[in-house]
Amino acid sequence: MDVRVLEAGPDGVRIEAPLEPNLNHRKTAFGGSVAALAILAGWTLIHVRLKREGHVTRTVIQDSAVHYDEPIHGSFRAVCGRVADDAWERFTRALTQRGKGRLHVAGHIESDGRVVATFSGAYVALRTQEPNGFSA
């Protein structure tokens, strides 16, 4: 996919992919690549903020949806903004108390200066003892 991180922080994530390695048979962006980039942006937003707050977790996507508004003819960026404080507090409270939390993230895909798709995803974080958040 040749993904490039433009911004990755607790207040927002922007990641980009060029068109060429993500082409479909119509010479536009392959929908699977667009969906994967969106899922990765949401995951990154959660991962970065959890790590910054000292949580050791393994985070996975549980459910996602992408709505494609128009074909993508150039490079494309997945954008996620900061999660609302009340939603984040519920999520981390559940993670701390039960060892598992679920959070919805929304965002969009931009290309050529326009929003060309929207997405939402439900992510689940599981508390783990592994220092890097991954386990075998």
Domain residue limits, the chain:
4-127
- CA-to-CA distance for 61 and 127, rounded, in angstroms? 15
pLDDT of 130 reads 65
pLDDT tens digits for range 86-125: 999 999 999 999 999 999 999 999 999 999 999 999 999 9
**CA neighbor of 10 nearest in space, from 80, 100, 77, 62:** 80
Tokens coding 119: 């997405």
User: What is the DSSP-derived secondary structure letter of residue 23?
Assistant: B
Give the CATH superfamily of 4-127: Hotdog Thioesterase (3.10.129.10)
pLDDT of 132 reads 55
pLDDT of 129 reads 76
pLDDT tens digits for range 2-12: 999 999 999 99
Query: Is pLDDT at 26 greater than 90 in this prediction?
Result: yes
Q: Which amino acid belongs to residue 43?
A: W
pLDDT of 135 reads 46
Question: With contact defined as beta carbons under 8 Å apart, do 56 and 128 qualify?
Answer: yes
pTM recorded for the entire structure: 0.92
Helix (H) or strand (E) holding 104: strand 100-111
pLDDT tens digits for range 35-92: 999 999 999 999 999 999 999 999 999 999 999 999 999 999 999 999 999 999 999 9
| Percent of the chain with pLDDT strictly greater than 90 | 94
